[in-house]
Amino acid sequence: MDWQDEGRSSDLEDRRGDSGGSGFGGFGFGGIHLGIGGFLIVAVLSLIFRTNLFSLLGGGGAPVASTQQQARPVDDPAEEKEVHFVSFVLDDTQKTWTTILQPKNIAFPHAKLVLYRNATQAGCGFAQSATGPFYCPEDKRVYLDLEFFDELTQKFGAPGQFAQAYVIAHEIGHHVQDVLGTLPKVDALMRRNPSQKNALSVRLELQADCYAGVWGSTTQQRGLLGQGEAQQALKAAASVGDDRLQRAAGRSVSPESFTHGSSEQRMHWFQQGFTTGDMTQCDTFAAAAE
């Protein structure tokens, strides 16, 4: 990506120096929309430890062991350029959504992005790196451990800066849903119809993918993408499809258990936003079930 290094964003909150939790901590799903990749990490750990960690996460407070070690020193200077890149994407996505929503007379208060190591306290509960990046509507923050970008390349097979940008844009997509009132409405529907929780979650995640594509479309229009870079985001979207993640964890594919959508669905909805550049084309709730 041809991005401008403007230093650290004022919306960036750096907790890498005070992250706690290299040991244990309770972590529930209450209000958290797990980021892309969180499912795979938990699934792989379940396979390694022969324990259903999904049931622990669903228990809303059961202790979960964190296996991630602090591989880099606090405030590693080698990470500073990556921090600046995260800042650029964070600021650019939020400027884009401010511009998109302004003609609709919708104010867009900025989300914050928290960088942390291993674990930190979020408004939605105790956050651990094993969950992957996520958005917490309770405190309007995106949580990200930079180690996830290494995972994205090495384990998910999705390298490249635009793949990383897609991750951030997806989580900001959840903030857009929050601002528009979609998240609270869907959360209320989930409580009233527990049997539809997974299906509704899938539609939320696919819409966030589409919103990420809408932002991606603006980067292409502004000439920020090099040849083939758009494919990096598509590859990232495919790599975190529920069907692929379940196979990677040694499980059979179970569509009824999907919470984020299949690889094909995730690519489709990112492409929908990227091709049209129109958020009105991102109504995954009105779309027929695939």
Residue where the block lists tokens 């994407």:
89
Cα separation, 134 vs 103, whole angstroms: 28
Confidence of residue 27 (pLDDT cuts 50, 70, 90): very low
Cα separation, 255 vs 266, whole angstroms: 14
Cα separation, 216 vs 212, whole angstroms: 6
Residue where the block lists tokens 């870079």:
229
Phi, psi of 16 (to 5 degrees): -65, -25
Residue 209 has pLDDT above 80, yes or no: yes
For residue 36, give the nearest of 140, 163, 186 by alpha carbon. 163
Residue 21 has pLDDT above 80, yes or no: no
Instruction: Report in angstroms the alpha-carbon separations of 83 from 98, 138, 164, 171, 214.
Output: 22, 24, 12, 17, 23
Give mean pLDDT, residues 161-180. Answer: 97
Domain residues of the chain, as ranges? 12-282
Rounded to two decimals, the pTM is 0.82
| pLDDT given at position 169 | 98
